[in-house]
Structures are given as C-alpha cells and as structure tokens.
A and B are shown apart, each in its own frame.
Chain A
Amino acid sequence: MTAVATERPLLQIRDLHIAFTSGKKDVPAVRGVDLTVYPGQTVAIVGESGSGKSTTAHAIIDLLPGTGHITGGSIEFDGVDLTSLSARKKRAYRGDRIGLVPQDPMSNLNPLYRVGTQIKEVLEVNDVARGKAADRRVVELLEEAGLGDAESRARQYPHEYSGGMRQRALIAAGLAARPQLLIADEPTSALDVTVQKQILDHLDGLTDELGVAVLLITHDLGLAAERADHLVVMYKGQVVESGPALQILQDPQHPYSQRLINSAPSLRSRRLMARERAEVRAEAAETALEHAEEVIGHGEGPESAGSPSSADAASADEFGGQVSAPVIRTTDLTKVFKLPGKGLAKRDFTAVDAVSFELARGTTTAIVGESGSGKSTVARMVLGLLEPTSGTVEFDGVDITTIRSRAQQLAFRRRVQPVFQNPYASLDPMYSIYRSIEEPLRLHGVGTGKERERKIRDLLDKVSLPAAVMSRYPNELSGGQRQRVAIARALALDPEVVVLDEAVSALDVLVQAQILKLLNDLQAELGLSYLFITHDLAVVRQIADQVLVMQQGRVVEQAGSLEVFDSPREEYTKRLLAAIPGRSVELAS
C-alpha cells in the first residue's frame, strides 16, 4: 500500500469549491478542499453528514446531484484537469479510469436487470469485453468479488441477493473495467458489522492485488484509521486536518479532529467509561431505590407493588444500594410470525426464541444483535406493543400480558416508555414540540395546563434544550435535537424504565456521544432503568451493565458488560467484537 515517493500523484484536488444553487443564490457546500492520492494508495475522507465529503467525491466523477456545481479550483487526474474537460471527455474517465462503489447496496443496482447483465454493461461500455467473452468475464469478476456459485448468481436479480452480496456485486461492477482509482463512498455503512468487515477485507485485498488507489469516504473514524494510509478530516465543507492516518489518530491537532476522536465509540479507551459507569450505576441504584420505596409507600397500583419486590428492595438496602430486584424480567419470551409458505400453508418464522433476561433497577441491559436477530421484537414485546406467542414479560412482578383493564394498562404505560431509532419519524411532524411532550401528560390527565407547561420546561431543561424550542416543529430541529425531544417525551410521565430501541444509531458520532452522556446523566439523576437495543457493540461498552448478544432470535451470550468485552465466551460474540472497526488501532493515552 505504500507508494514510492517519486511517483506523480494520481489524483490531485486543489482548492476545490462546490456550491448548490438555491433560489438565485449559491450555497457553498465545499470550500477550498485540497487532496492528493498517489497510485495504489488508500486515502480516506472522514466527516459527519453535511461535511461535504460525498460532494467532493461526486465532483471528481462529474456526478454532483441536483444544482451542485464546481465554482473554483481544479481536479487533476493523471495530469489532466478534469474540470476543464467537456462533459463527454469527462465521461470517458468514468468506469475504466475512476470506478465507484456506492453507499447503499439496496438502491444502487437496477432492480429490473439481472446482476450479470448490469456488470456486463460496464464491460461493454468501457470496451473491455463483449458478447460471450463478457459473460465469462462477469462470472470471473463475481468470483473475484467473493460470490460463490457465480455463474448462477449472475443470472439472478438484485432482490434475490442479501445486502452483503449486493455490495460484492457493486464492487465487481466498480472494478470491472479495472480503474486506477476507486471511489468507495461509505461502502459498508448499510451493512451489519460482521459483513462489513468481510467486505472491507475483501476490498482491501483486491485493490492491493490490482494496485488500485482507493478514495474511501466514511463517517467512521475507526474504519478510516484501519483501512487508510492518509486521512483527510472534513468539517462543514472544509478540510480541517489531513495527514498520515496514525499520526492524526494518535495526536490530533485540530479541535474538531480531537473532538471526533474523543467521541468515536470504537476508539475510545475502555477505562474512561468504566469508572464513570460505576459511579453512574451507584447513583442510579440509590435513586431507583428511593423511587421504588416511594412507589411502594404510596401503594400505587394494587398489583404492581407485590411483596417480593418490596422484600428485595429491603434486602437491597442492606447491600448498600446494590438493588437486585429486577424491574423487568422476561421468561422464555417467544414470538412466532406466520409467513405465507408453499401452497395454502403458512410458514412459521420464530423471530424471538425463548429469551429470558432481567433488567435490574437503576441499571442498563443492552441487547446487541445484527439485523434479523429479533432484538427489536423483544423491545416491542417488553413495551407491550406486541403480544408474545409464549413466555412472559413481568414488570415489577406482574405479567403484563395479563393486564386487561384500561386503568392498569395506563398505569403500566406510565412506568415504561420508549425512545425509537429514527429521529425523523419518532415525532409527529404535525405536532409542535410542546404538544408532542404534552401529549402523554394530557392523556394521563396529569396536572393543569399551567402545571403541564412547567413540567415541559423542566423536561426540556433536563435534556438540555432551550425552552424556546417549545413552539417549534420537528422539521426545524436537527436529528440530535429531535432525539432529545423524544427523550423528554419519554420522561414526561416519570417512568421507571426506558426502552431505547437503536436510539442513537442514526446520529452522527458527536451527537451520539452527547446523547449517550445525557442518558447516563439522566439515569444517575432519576434512577432510570434502560433496556438498550443496538447493533453497535462499541456503543454498548459506554452504557451497559449487562449485555445480551442475540443471533437469529436466540440469546447466544449473556453476561456483564466488562466480561463480554474482555472475555467473550461465544464464537459469535468474538466475531462481533473483532468486526468493530478501529479496534486494532492503538491510541496513545
């Protein structure tokens, strides 16, 4: 991967400016970017959404979306300034000189053509091969990209492929005409971590073997650090820092790079969080205990405060705040969905298979798994949004599936609240922030109008949002802000348990770090218990006490957080851990 110092740069971008036209104004998106890639080298552009990293990459192949256009600077490829060429001549560079592996494997293959046909098209338009020869080459390329049984795979349609397979097909297409430079635009961000690792390893091997230079676009610093020789950190359309990957990671100079590295969960050293977690847990346990006593003292809910929990709470007190009474306990929780099968029969699909776990008061239990592991289905059953096929969910000793009366149901709802993944869908766009947070209060008949307003101000303050957002609508807030509002709403009824279903997964790293900190603080302050659903093991380390690793509906490993990270027992857990990007990169302390 190391280039010879005397070589001419393959790609040299100088002072590149890109703007989008909005109305009659030019809104700059990229401002003065410099970037150099040498033959055979891997260079990564790292940045959050909106940093201009993808825009820069698209400018190289003259495929800026919408009204985007280059307003200044030069893009020199192999000694030729691409910006000075005609559209036709620019096109000649695409495919056989500069290849692209796009971001989302789901949308980047034409659903109407066979995969083989689409790769053959690349071969034919770039004059690599035609007819029968092209067909043979397609099979070779698919094999090269790591797809087994390539001959029959070539005849399949994209929807018959899994996400990982599609991305392999896109890699095959991107490299089909043997370009000198491959632009890999977040090539694996839509994939599960274990698949991500396989694909990146494969891509690394291939580009190395073929001597192809790679321009890797990513939001994941860990991934960039592991895969690239040279890093370019972008922030708001500008390059804030660039240099050798290791040097930047170990000794970031620009405040933004520092912030990014400090927030990246995969890079963050364990010790830091472990201490904080212990403190948080101790505090939370204390608050939770007080809270529990209060509940019992007031006798709220006839069944909710049964004797076992009060006995446990009492015994817990003796152990110095080590509350052991689980607030949620599931036993052999199972969900079977009926899917249409062959003929008239329905096929059973077991999404969740006999999952048992406990969530202790004031602590966090994380459920980790890849897509299809059943983790979100567990969350929905715990929330009482989905009826289990068999097994029980006990909340404070009461099986929630036996709750029938409206009053009891409302009482249960008050005590368990969710925060969902997608910040763009978790708030009703028609409701102002005030109305969104007020809805649970109003529904449960809490307080007068004045009291509710005070409560909402208080909640917004808790999630560090100014009271001014009350009159705003979700579309005016950023993803992180919306997620804060969603948390505020979840806290409105003073719940004991919050189910966080991928609540930070859609956020940029910096925002993610902020929200995680907020969740930690709230737990300490309010004694909340969290059920934290995520696909991201790196995040788990920062927040969880207990970890459940799920695979295909089953719990494969269940242990304390430190244990899982330090001495995983199961092969699958080990694979998950090994797949976290950036784990191998040593950080200076």
Chain B
Amino acid sequence: MPETMPLAGQTHFVAPSSETPLQATGMVDTSAPPEGQWKEAWKVLRRNWMFWVSAVLLLIILVVVCFPGLFTSVDPRASSLSRSLEGPQAGHPFGFDKQGYDVYSRVVYGARASVVVGLLTTVIVTVIGLFSGAVAGFFGRWVDAVIARIADIFFAIPLLLAAIVGLSALNNVWPNRGYWGGVLAVVFALAAFGWPQVTRIARGAVLEIKGLEFVDASRAIGASKWRNLFSHIIPNSLAPVIVTATVSLGVYIVAEATLSFLGIGLPPSIVSWGNDIAAAQSQVRSGDNLHVLFAPAGALAVTVLSFMLLGDAVRDALDPKARK
C-alpha cells in the first residue's frame, strides 16, 4: 500500500477522548431489579391493552361461574309459560324464552358448564400433550415413532365426529349422569381426541430446546436424562404450549356449544349456553325474538374472544422474536 497524501475528508481524525469515553467491557447494570424470562414477559404483557381487556373480562366471567347467585336471584329453571317469548323488560333484561325461562338468569347460570368444559378439557389435553410430546421429542427414535403413530390414530378421526361418536357411546354406558357427569362426559370426549395437537407443538418445542448447549452442559455435570427433561427442557418448552392452551380453551368452549347444538353434548337438563343457543334456533326462525339467541351467543362469543385475546397477548409477550 503506497503512502499518499490523504484526500479531503480523509485526513487522520481522532475524536477527543472526553467526547467518546470508553466503558469498561463487561459492566453489570445493577440499577434495575433482577428479571427472569417470565418477569420480562410480564412487563411486556402489562403494557398490552389486549391483555387487560381480556383479563378483566375473564375475571368477571370467573366470578359468574363460581357465584352465579350474586348476579341474579331468578331461578333459571323456573318456567312461567305465560311470559313465553316476552321481550326484555325491567328485572328481566334479556326477556323470556319459549318455555318462559328468564334468559338473563340462564345466561348467568349457563356460564359454568361452558367455562368448566373449556378449562377442564384444556388442562387434560395440555398435561397429556405436553408430557407425550416432550417424551417423544426428547427420546426420539422408536419412542417418537410410537407416540407419533398413536397421536395420529386419534388425530385422524375428525374431532367433531369423534366427539359425537364418543358421546353417544358414553350415553349408553353412562346414562343419567347428572350435572357434573354430563359435563365430564363432554370433557372426556373432547380431550380424548384433542391431545395430539398439543403433542405436536410440545414435541416441536422440545426438539428445538434439546439441541441447545445448556442441555449438554447439564448432561456434562452428570444430570440424568429425566432430570434434564423435567428441570431444563420442559420448563423452556412451555411458552408455545401455554399459548396454544389459551387459544384452544376458546375453541373447546365453541366445540361444547356445537355438540350441544347437535343435541349430543350436554343433556338438556343442564343449563348451558350451547343448549340455549340450540333451543333458540327454532324460536327465531322468522327473525323475531332475536334476544333469545343473542344473549347466550353473545355471552359465549365474549368469553371465547377473551381467551383468544389473552392467547394473542401472551404470545406477543413470550415470543422472543417480538421482544428483541
């Protein structure tokens, strides 16, 4: 490289050190309190309006589910046929249906069955799916192949058809099962065919985590496979599973309503949104009496929407790509 006279704009320039102070490499910022991944996600969540809207709605719904008596003193099964299909009026904000039931009261009491089906199904599906998916992804080889085939068997039968067949089978073996029996039957039917979806997601997440170096580091200190799986791999694979769980909660609530609409979900004796929507159909054929349909359908939609919004908000908070 020949030495030449520097060109204009390319003379040797040195910034005054006072204006460009050097920082020690490797400083630790101790001003803020320590934050793990979850705490950081919470910080992101906290700033998201979707999270707050859905959280407040879900809190209200949860209270309704636990203490419906707080919101209405009308018995949802008290029929006054004389007021059949009457519109909204004082004391009965959503009016009456054909049987003369108070629609508002039924919406309040119907929350329990819908939400419990959604929650319980999601919990069962998540536990089975997380465990089977984690084991499949972690151990690989034949374990993976076997779990994949079993999951495929349940996945290959369309959820709705499978649940219908399952429930009609349950009707024969387990007739007259009462309120909780009725709810549980729907939960079992949905959970039995819903878990493979979670298995796939958990398996994918575990495969990703399994290859990371901290897993090898843990093996190198002598941690056993199971210890590694439970203390490192599963906790780190939880994020996508939680997101799926939140969203599918809404999907299961809709599925329950659909089954009840088809007349095979919850028995008619159980007050539920699905049953009421199904019953409302025949009452509004010509476009009148829409309140009978809109009240339970609206309640269901708001509930499902809240879970979906929560799922979206949680996804945004947990997605490392969105955070960086």
Q: Report A's interface with B, CB cutoff 8 A.
A: 2-3, 5, 7, 9, 12, 34, 36, 38, 229-230, 235-236, 238-248, 253-256, 259, 380, 383-385, 409-410, 413-414, 416-418, 420-422, 425-430, 432, 439-440, 443-444, 464-466, 468-469, 471-473, 475-478, 480-481, 484, 486, 489-490, 493, 508, 510-511, 514
In the bound assembly, the distance between CA atoms of A469 and B32 in angstroms comes to 12
Find the B residue at minimum CB distance from A412: B222
**Contacts A2-B4, A38-B7, A425-B212 hold; do A242 and B12 have CB atoms under 8 A apart?**
yes
List 12 A–B pairs whose Cβ atoms lie within 8 Å, in order of A's numbering.
A5-B5, A34-B9, A242-B13, A244-B3, A428-B232, A428-B236, A429-B236, A432-B36, A475-B37, A481-B28, A508-B25, A511-B26
Q: CB-CB < 8 A to B214: which residues of A?
A: 425-428
In the complex, residue of chain B having the shortest beta-carbon distance to the beta carbon of A478: B26
Per the bound structure, the CA–CA distance linking A29 and B30 in Å amounts to: 23
| B82 close to chain A: CB less than 8 A | no
Q: B220's contact among A240, A385, A465, A466, by CB below 8 Å, is which?
A: A385
Most buried by A among B29, B217, B222, B227: B217
Contacts of B1 in A (CB 8 A): 229, 245-246
* Top-7 shortest CB links A-B: A243-B12, A36-B9, A413-B222, A420-B213, A440-B221, A253-B14, A426-B213
Q: In the complex, A236→B37 CA distance in Å?
A: 27
Do residues B7 and A493 form an inter-chain contact, with CB atoms below 8 A? no
Q: In this complex, what residue of B is CB-closest to A229? A: B1
Question: Contacts of B7 on A, CB cut-off 8 Å?
Answer: 3, 5, 7, 9, 36, 38
Q: Is B158 an interface residue (CB 8 A)?
A: no
Which residue of B15, B17, B37, B227 has the most chain A CB atoms within 10 A of its CB atom?
B15
Residue of B8, B28, B36 near A477 (CB, 8 A) is B28
The interface residues of chain B lying within 8 Å CB-to-CB of A430 are 36-38, 232, 235-236
CA distance in complex: A469, B35 (Å): 11
By a CB distance below 8 angstroms, the chain A residues around B12 are 241-244, 247-248, 253
How many whole Å from A336's CB to the nearest CB in chain B? 18
Contact check: which of B10, B11, B221 meets A443 at CB < 8 Å? Answer: B221
* Cα A229 to Cα B1 with chains together (Å): 8
Supposing A9-B8, A240-B15 touch, asked if A420 and B216 sit within 8 A by C-beta, the answer is yes
B172 in the interface (beta carbon within 8 A): no
Residues A255 and B34 in contact in the complex (CB < 8 Å), given A242-B13, A439-B221, A444-B221 = no
Residues of B within 8 Å of A, CB-based: how many? 46
In the complex, the number of residue pairs spanning A and B with C-beta atoms less than 8 Å apart equals 161
**In the complex, chain B residues whose CB is within 8 Å of the CB of A422:** 213
Q: Which A residues are in CB contact (< 8 Å) with B11?
A: 243
Chain B contact residues: over half helix, strand or loop, or mixed?
Answer: loop
* A432 cross-chain contacts in B, Cβ below 8 A: 34, 36
Considering the chains assembled together, what is the distance between the CA atoms of A188 and B218 in angstroms? Answer: 34
Closest A residue by C-beta to B36: A473
Does B28 contact A466, Cβ atoms closer than 8 Å? yes
A238-B15, A383-B220, A472-B28 are known; give 20 further A-B pairs, CB within 8 A.
A38-B7, A236-B20, A238-B19, A241-B14, A242-B10, A243-B10, A244-B6, A255-B17, A380-B216, A410-B222, A414-B222, A418-B220, A428-B236, A429-B37, A439-B218, A439-B221, A443-B227, A471-B34, A476-B35, A493-B221
Interface 0/1 of B203-237, CB less than 8 Å to A: 00000000011101111111100010000100110
Docked complex Cα distance between A425 and B214 (Å)? 6
Residue among A229, A416, A429, A484 with the highest chain B CB neighbour number at 10 A: A429
How far, in Å, is A509 (CB) from chain B's closest CB?
Answer: 10
A465 in contact with B6 given A235-B20, A417-B221 (CB within 8 Å): no
Cβ B221 vs Cβ A243 within 8 A: no
The answer to whether A259 and B34 have CB atoms under 8 Å apart is no
List of A residues within 8 angstroms of B3 by Cβ: 244, 246
Looking at the assembled complex, report how far the CB atom of B47 sits from the nearest CB atom of chain A, in whole angstroms: 9
**Min CB gap B42→A, angstroms:** 13
Given known contacts A241-B13, A243-B6, A443 and B36 CB-to-CB distance under 8 angstroms: no
A205 to B: closest C-beta gap in Å: 16
Select the residue from B8, B20, B22, B220 with max chain A CB neighbours within 10 A.
Answer: B220
> What is the distance, in angstroms, from A297's C-beta to the closest C-beta of chain B?
24
A15 to chain B, nearest CB (A): 12
